[in-house]
Structure 1
């Protein structure tokens, strides 16, 4: 019987230690779960279809041929055998951190000429690129214009004087009359 009494305190100790560990795990689990909720997995950028810009839509004029429309907009994403006089241009993009975009443009023909077109308002190319750029803007924009004084620093006449004072350029050696063959005869 004494062996049984010595086992009970050991079992009690194991049970207490186990409950303490499990209690600690649950509190760690809560913080881990909240950390995992803030970290998101990488999502692949999905681009489908033809991007059509506002400038391209403005270039369309009724009476254009199918080839002229194709040169401006590219090949349509959807061509239907049952609706041969209708081309659908659909564009979708899904990126992580950016709201998904979807735009549609439908072009209608009468015979071989453009009759009309309708669709979503399209962004200009500049607006579209700005919407895709998710990088944070830091710092000030550099000045892209030079003053008259700054331009005088790069006076081409001054550069010509400097080159005249320098040693004259050596003439290049003459080119050979013929070149050796690239492969030797076998």
Structure 2
């Protein structure tokens, strides 16, 4: 066997081992680079809001003796009603935000003979406090606008005049009592 052929025979396995080591080293640096990129780029995580938000103002508006419809108009439709506890409505609110503690609040309303007897639950925040707690984590130092309008601000928007009597409209003609047949005539 010529000398060159013997050298190639000895170099073949060495080249294969060298190429394998280089490929593995390259994979290691790619894994490190991809890990660094993954730490920089994070997926968008949304806020998860579930249930009914009930403010302190709404709870203060509840009065014993109110009917179910009046309570529904103030608090909204209850999140949980039970067939086994028909005289109890549950209002549960949960807010999950990335990087923040989960907020959970619960209010239970009790009825007796279809009128409000009592309510109990967590201390509810005012609407202003709740809006302030929603301050976006992305926008730092941003001030929450005031939710109450001053008399000067309200004066800029005069109330539209409401008619004291309903507008007179042309009398409606009676609807036609002639309807097309429901089935095609028999032939």
For normalisation by structure 2, the TM-score amounts to: 0.64
Once residues 143 and 107 of structure 2 are traced to their aligned partners in structure 1, the CA distance between those partners, rounded to angstroms, is: 38
Once residues 83 and 109 of structure 2 are traced to their aligned partners in structure 1, the CA distance between those partners, rounded to angstroms, is: 15
Higher strand share: 1
Match of 1:30 among 29, 32, 37: 32
Of 61-70 and 13-22, deviating more is 13-22
- Retained in 2: the 8 A contact 1:42–1:96? no
Q: Post-superposition shift, 1:99? A: 2.8
Q: Deviations over 1:77-104 (max 9, x none)?
A: 1111111100000111223343322211
Residue correspondences, number: 141
Once residues 70 and 43 of structure 1 are traced to their aligned partners in structure 2, the CA distance between those partners, rounded to angstroms, is: 33
Structure 2: runs of 5+ lacking an equivalent: 145-187
Aligned ranges 1:25-104 → 2 under 5 Å: 25-37=27-39, 39-104=41-106
Report the CA distance shift for 1:23/1:96 in structure 2 as closer, same or farther (over 3 A).
Answer: same
Q: Post-superposition shift, 1:38? A: 5.1
For normalisation by structure 1, the TM-score amounts to: 0.65
Q: Post-superposition shift, 1:4? A: 4.5
Higher helix share: 1
RMSD: 2.5
Partner of 1:6, secondary structure, is helix
Q: Deviations over 1:129-153 (max 9, x none)?
A: 2222213235899xxxxxxxxxxxx
1:136 aligns with 2:135: no
Q: Post-superposition shift, 1:37? A: 4.2
Q: Post-superposition shift, 1:29? A: 1.7
